[in-house]
Chain A
Amino acid sequence: MKSGSNLEKILESGQFAVTAECGPPKGTSAMVVQRKGELLKFCCDALNVTDNQTAIVRMSSFSGCVLLKALGVEPVLQMVVRDRNRLALQGDLLGAAALGIHNVLCLSGDHQRFGNHPTAKGVYDIDSIQFIRTVKDMRDEHKFINGEAFSGDAPFYIGAAANPFADPFEFRVTRLAKKVKAGADFIQTQGIFDVAKFAEWMKGVRDRGLHEKTHILAGLIPIKSVGMARYMANNVSGLSVPKQIVDRMADTKDPKEEGVKICLETIEEIMDIEGVHGIHIMAVAWEDIVPRIVEEAGLMPRPVV
């Protein structure tokens, strides 16, 4: 075992994993995180705590993880390289290890221009792939980027993101290969609506044997309304929402129900694709729906490992 985390045990034992996103509040209420943790703990193997998601300042991912751990929920610490340089990143990793946080998701982060501090200076001292390598070297070599040794263990299960829908499509598998080479143990993908395109990407992943070197968790975003579907189709870079999905959301009398149906259909199709080892549900501002989706997808109860 690299980290001994629940997520690692499930994935390494060949079981299908379920993770979900737990966004911390734009405020100081621990209750918000605790409520989401209580809601999701029985239907997920680990919960990702987002890190100033969409470049909007929120309670830190780190503190969200600590709050979840106190509830007995396993967190995935999301870390973006947009906001911290190598000193801060490595220092936070030492702290995460000290506090028993064992899953880390290494991200670039949405550009600060999109958030609520668009005039901020972006850090980008190292990039997400270099960051994956950093965590791996800390875990396996007990060394910092500068080669200096530190004391103690840093048992992390290392995650990374992949977006099969961004351009250039042909390079997306190569980029995944670089992340795997850097040390990514698991991958959480961008939200999938275009299953055909995802399947094509997965074929490329299998052709390079990457599905045997890393665990791919397929990303899902339950849609609540036609407005949300349209917004994602037109305004979010690197997200592919086919017209038929938007149409289905527009034509239905019960958008929430239709959204759940679309999500369940997508899960069913995804589970048939060789090399997909789990799902990651990003129900932004709709966490309440996650238990139902996991239940109806036939993924309950979650394994105890």
Chain B
Amino acid sequence: MITVEQKELEKILEMTKGRGRLLVLGCETCAAMSLAGGKKQAEELAVAIRVGRKQSKEEGEVVADAIARQCEPEFVALIEKEVASFDTVLSLACGAGVQLIAERFPDKVVIPGCNTSFLGVTEKLGVWSERCAGCGNCILDKTGGLCPIARCAKQLFNGPCGGSTNGKCEISKDVDCVWQLIIDRLTRLDRLEALEEIFPVKDWSPAGHGGPRRVVREDLEP
């Protein structure tokens, strides 16, 4: 999922100050799984903004709602009528959702209520961690299902570097050295010899360095 984190309330109050009638719009998929931007968090945030506005004697109604996915036009279409009555939409989706809302409602001010962190997994309640860098050319078959691009601090293809200590990365004792994990896993699978090969230089163009990316499936186009 796309992991998001809600911005600090103070920051949200500052961004929404003087923005009139405000729709706090949750996103019920990734943002909800991140426990930061689902319907529940949208409702809680709306209450907090109302309190903040009341304290600063600011006008403007604050309403919470949510749709299943702010990144899908068909779901965004469901709130067209509702959005019409607001001045501003505070979107709690990831950056993709925020932008589709902005695109669909060109006359509304659209504000992000969350920071988009990464493509990751839930480790346990309250802990998420990065797994995928969206680099456009998956190599997990070669690295035991563990990604050095997303999880090595230096994105080494031929790691580990000289800073790997007791299974941890040199940047922090809280970060696993993914190359240690890769070696452990390939050892368990009796495939360690795969790492004798030198990984060639990567083509970063599908990773976004070739410009903004787009996927076109001609077989599906109407």
Number of A residues near B (Cβ < 8 Å) is: 35
Contact partners of B160 in chain A: CB under 8 A:
166-168, 171, 175
A238 and B164 contact, Cβ closer than 8 Å, known pairs A111-B154, A178-B196:
yes
B1 at the interface (CB under 8 A from A): no
- With a CB–CB cut-off of 8 A, which chain B residues contact A113? 153, 171
In the complex, which residues 124-179 of chain A have their Cβ closer than 8 Å to any Cβ of chain B?
Answer: 124-130, 133-134, 145, 161-163, 166-168, 171, 174-175, 177-178
- Give the distance in Å from the alpha carbon of A113 to the alpha carbon of B155 in the complex: 14
Residues of B within 8 Å of A227, CB to CB, are none
Least distance between B205 CB and chain A CB atoms (Å)? 12
- Are A127 and B166 CB-contacts (below 8 A) given A108-B154, A111-B171, A168-B180? no
- Distance, CA A124 to CA B160, complexed state (A): 14
Distance from A165 Cβ to chain B, minimum over Cβ atoms (Å)? 8
B126 on the A face (CB < 8 A): no
Pair B204/A129 contact, Cβ less than 8 Å: no
CB–CB B153/A111 < 8 A:
yes
Verify A178–B201 contact, CB threshold 8 A: no
Total contacting residues, chain B, CB less than 8 A: 29
| Measured CA separation A181–B197 after assembly (Å) | 9
Chain A residues near B222 (CB, 8 Å)?
A: none
A25 to B167, CA, bound (A): 34
Q: How far is the CA of A177 from the CA of B195 in the complex (A)?
A: 11
Contact present for A167 and B167 (CB under 8 Å): yes
Q: Are B201 and A237 in contact (CB under 8 A)?
A: no
Task: Give the Cβ gap from A135 to chain B, nearest Cβ, in Å.
Answer: 13
B138 at the interface (CB under 8 A from A): no
Q: Is B180 a contact of A124 with CB atoms below 8 Å?
A: no
Tell me the nearest residue of chain B to A165, going by C-beta. B162
Closest Cβ neighbor of A189 among chain B residues: B162
Residues of the A chain whose Cβ atoms lie less than 8 Å from the Cβ of B198: 129-130, 133, 178, 181-182
Across the interface, name the chain B residue whose C-beta is closest to A81: B154
Residue A122 at the B interface, CB < 8 A?
yes
Which residues from chain B contact A177 at a C-beta distance below 8 Å? Answer: 196
Q: Are A238 and B170 neighbours in the complex by a CB distance under 8 Å?
A: yes
Q: Are B196 and A174 in contact (CB under 8 A)?
A: yes
- Give B170 Cβ to nearest chain A Cβ, in Å: 4
A86 to B205, CA, bound (A): 13
In B137-189, which residues have CB < 8 Å from any A CB? Answer: 153-167, 170-171, 177, 180, 183-184
Given contacts A111-B171, A166-B162, A166-B164, are A174 and B195 in contact (CB under 8 A)? yes
The answer to whether the Cβ of B75 comes within 8 Å of any Cβ in the partner chain is no
In the bound complex, residues from chain A placing their C-beta under 8 Å from that of B167 are 167
Instruction: Report if A178-B170 is in contact (Cβ < 8 Å); known contacts: A111-B153, A125-B204, A166-B163.
Output: no
When distances are taken between beta carbons in the complex, the residues of chain B under 8 Å from A125 are 202, 204
The answer to whether A168 touches B162, judged by C-beta atoms less than 8 angstroms apart, is no
Complex-state Cα separation, A73 to B171, whole angstroms? 35
| Whole-angstrom CA separation of A190 from B199 in the bound complex | 24
B212: CB under 8 A from chain A? no
What's the Cα separation between A122 and B180 when bound, in Å? 21
In the complex, whether B200 has a CB less than 8 A from a CB of chain A is yes
A82 interface hit (Cβ, 8 Å): yes
Given pairs A110-B163, A190-B162, A237-B162, 5 additional interface contacts (CB within 8 A) = A110-B170, A113-B153, A128-B158, A168-B183, A168-B184
Q: Which residues of B contact A (CB under 8 A)?
A: 153-167, 170-171, 177, 180, 183-184, 195-196, 198-202, 204
Q: List 29 A-B contacts (CB under 8 A).
A: A82-B154, A108-B154, A108-B161, A108-B162, A110-B163, A111-B153, A111-B163, A113-B171, A114-B171, A122-B153, A124-B154, A125-B204, A126-B202, A127-B154, A129-B158, A129-B199, A130-B199, A134-B201, A161-B162, A166-B163, A166-B164, A166-B165, A167-B160, A167-B167, A167-B177, A168-B183, A171-B183, A174-B196, A178-B196
Name A's B-contacting residues (CB within 8 A).
82, 86, 108-111, 113-114, 122, 124-130, 133-134, 145, 161-163, 166-168, 171, 174-175, 177-178, 181-182, 190, 237-238
